[in-house]
Structure 1
Amino acid sequence: MTSIQKPASQACRSNTSFRGAVAAVLASVLLSGCGVVNNMIYKTTGDVMQGFSRNHTVPYLLESDDLAMGCAMSEATAPLLMSFGRVTSEPDQLAVMLYLSAGGCAEEQAREHELDGLAALRAMDAEEAEDAMIRQKRALALAAKRYHRGWKHHNAFYGKPDAGECPGFDDDLGEFIYMAGLLSGLQALNAEIQSTSSIGVPKNIGSTVSRATRCLENDKWWGAPMALRATVWAMIPGALPEGEDPFERLEIADAQGEEAGVRISHVFHAIAAQNKGDEERLRDVIRSHAQAIEETPANEEWTFVDAMATDMIVAISDRLWMENTGHRTPMGQLGTFWDDEKEAVETMDLDDLL
């Protein structure tokens, strides 16, 4: 048979096509290899960042009393740290702290708007008061969303609290974050109600949180678990067990918190008193807090928690002062009120010196 030879030009085209195909395959392999390497780098970085933040950043922050710094950090770093969940395990435990803190930032803004609204009402400026209340509700809606995200991450890491089983805690910080997640859930419901919006916070979250506090050692955590539970009893109709007195429990928790130098129970007590419309009890709680921070320094390991409690007590005091005087609590006068009887000042008769 006569062999058939391809023209030289066709042979060249065949060789060119072959080389192009080989190049394409090599490029694909190399690029996919780069992607694998990058993913490995991202995963390693994510794991390191999560571990460092959990083991060092959070404990460092908890020893600080600079709430504004903590607020700025949580809002600024949450997107970065949470984005590592795209390349490695979701940082659920860390997210509880990030969104609790970020929710607190939004709630702080809401309190400022509320004070603006109260000042406008005293000035008979209805339009400014209404605008301030709208801004307050918007900030509360944002706070509710953030708190709710923290609650969902809490459930993802520790399991749903209504499952009836308590999780195992690796260390004290893990147990504290569990408690922080319960607080985040309760705050989500409270903020949603105040914002008059609906973002999907479960309405039974209060009773769920109340049951879940039994997984925490009350004496170890400055009476806060019982204070949290008693606050739910005081605020939710039908939640109070027979034979229990929520305010008696809150007073016991207050004493524990004062002794430990972590007075977060005062906040729960104040919220419960506000809900009952008991201003005299509310004033007593504020006075007790002011006296306690003068007498007992904050626990060094949990300084941030104690500072947060003081900030919230000051906010409650500011609201009372603004409603009645048109200004916030004067500097250095936390625990006093505008209508307190003034102490008699001894005067000297200068005529006797002449």
Structure 2
Amino acid sequence: MTALAASFALSGCGVVNNMIYKTTGDVMQGFSRNHTVPYLLESDDLAMGCAMSEATAPLLMSFGRVTSEPDQLAVMLYLSAGSCAEEKANEYELAGLAKMYAMDGTAAEDAFIQKKRAYSLAAKRYLKGWQHHNAYYGKPDDSECPDFDDEMDEFIYMAGLLSGLQALNGQVQATSSIGVPFNTASVVGRASQCLDNNKWWGAPMALRATVWAMVPGTEPKGEDAFERLAIAQEQGKKAGVRLGHVFHAIAATNKNDSDLVKSIIRDYSESVKTDNANEDWRFVDAMAESMLVSISDRLWMENTGHRTPMGQFGTFWDDQQEPVETMDLDDLL
């Protein structure tokens, strides 16, 4: 009888604990979506966001064991965590380019191996974000556009599309299969039509045009990917969320048009002097600048052996120097 009573008591404790865990999980999910994510998006501290996503993702995702899976939150966590790994990949690439410039082939090869490993991790994280996006919103290739609840719902949808595209790019850069379907870019491009292009700073059209520019046979008849990208760049500039510059630069890099890449970076650096970042989306604009600095660093490293000098983002090693006025000593005599 005593054993039976103890069994019921322990069973009751388990039920109570499960209720507490579920309630805690629901509260944490709701708070993170409605407050933590918006708070972070108003910040421009990318390193802080990176550290937070890597540190808290296991904790927040574990609540999926006791309550509904936090799919929306997962999209943001894995997108940010993937960018952390991609940042490391960029650093390894720069180290490799520096060693190549110094004619140290062995060290360069080692750095490029590390780069591929980091891209492999980035691709896995981005893929998780993409999978959670599809779990919440439905697979974009076999469903209609979702009914969004609010603005944050739309933004997370767009973040998921970015995760899908970045997952594919990471897989390509890693030169090994991570399990990302090769039609992901086309799927993402079509799904971007579910978002209001004007509301979201021209980014949906820029994303779609980037796919057109990079995947042969996807550009619709009568469209010009780079014309669309130029328009999106201007839209982002006016809105203070300059993702359009990034998409434009990525497409130009893929085309090996270094002059266009330089022009895009110059335009961004001039824009930030006169057009402030949108206060609600500072993090996104800061992310755009970080990605453009990475592209600039790669160009500088390939041509000079060092990255973009401090205070010279938007300029390049081969820029024509403005003439300096000199004083004729004869004028003083």
TM-score range, shorter chain: over 0.9
**Sequence identity of aligned pairs in percent?**
74
Matched, 1:261 2:240: yes
Pick from 51, 64, 78: which aligns with 2:43? 64
Aligned to 2:112: 133
Matched, 1:312 2:288: no
- Aligned partner of 2:185: which letter? G
CA drift at 1:240: 0.7
Q: List per-residue Cα deviations over 1:100-144 (Å, max 9, x = no partner).
A: 000000000000000000011111111110110000000000000
Pick from 268, 276, 283: which aligns with 2:262? 283
Pick from 22, 28, 31: which aligns with 1:52? 31
Q: List per-residue Cα deviations over 1:61-98 (Å, max 9, x = no partner).
A: 00000000000000000000000000000000010000
- Pairwise mapping of residues 137-152 of structure 1 onto structure 2 (< 5 A)? 137-152=116-131
For 1:353 and 1:38, the matched residues in 2 are separated by 90
Aligned to 2:152: 173
Length-normalised TM-score, structure 1: 0.93
Report the secondary structure of 1:238's partner residue.
coil
Report the secondary structure of 1:221's partner residue.
coil
Matched, 1:160 2:139: yes
Pick from 170, 173, 186: which aligns with 1:191? 170
Report the secondary structure of 1:161's partner residue.
coil
CA drift at 1:38: 0.5
CA drift at 1:199: 1.1
Q: List per-residue Cα deviations over 1:251-308 (Å, max 9, x = no partner).
A: 0000100000000111111110011111111111111111111110000000000000
For 1:139 and 1:224, the matched residues in 2 are separated by 27
For 1:123 and 1:246, the matched residues in 2 are separated by 38
Aligned to 1:7: none
- Pairwise mapping of residues 104-143 of structure 1 onto structure 2 (< 5 A)? 104-143=83-122
Matched, 1:182 2:168: no
CA drift at 1:164: 3.8
Q: Which has the higher contact order (CA 8 A, sep 6+)?
A: 2
For 1:283 and 1:177, the matched residues in 2 are separated by 31
Aligned to 1:323: 302
Structure 2 unaligned residues grouped into runs of 5+: none
Report the secondary structure of 1:162's partner residue.
coil
Matched, 1:302 2:302: no
- Aligned partner of 2:252: which letter? A
- Pairwise mapping of residues 194-273 of structure 1 onto structure 2 (< 5 A)? 194-273=173-252
Aligned to 1:12: none
Structure 1 unaligned residues grouped into runs of 5+: 1-21
Report how many aligned residue pairs link the two structures. 333
Aligned to 1:97: 76
Please say which structure displays the higher CA radius of gyration.
Answer: 1
Aligned to 1:334: 313
Query: Cα RMSD between the aligned structures?
Result: 0.8
Aligned to 1:5: none
Aligned to 1:13: none
- Aligned partner of 2:26: which letter? D
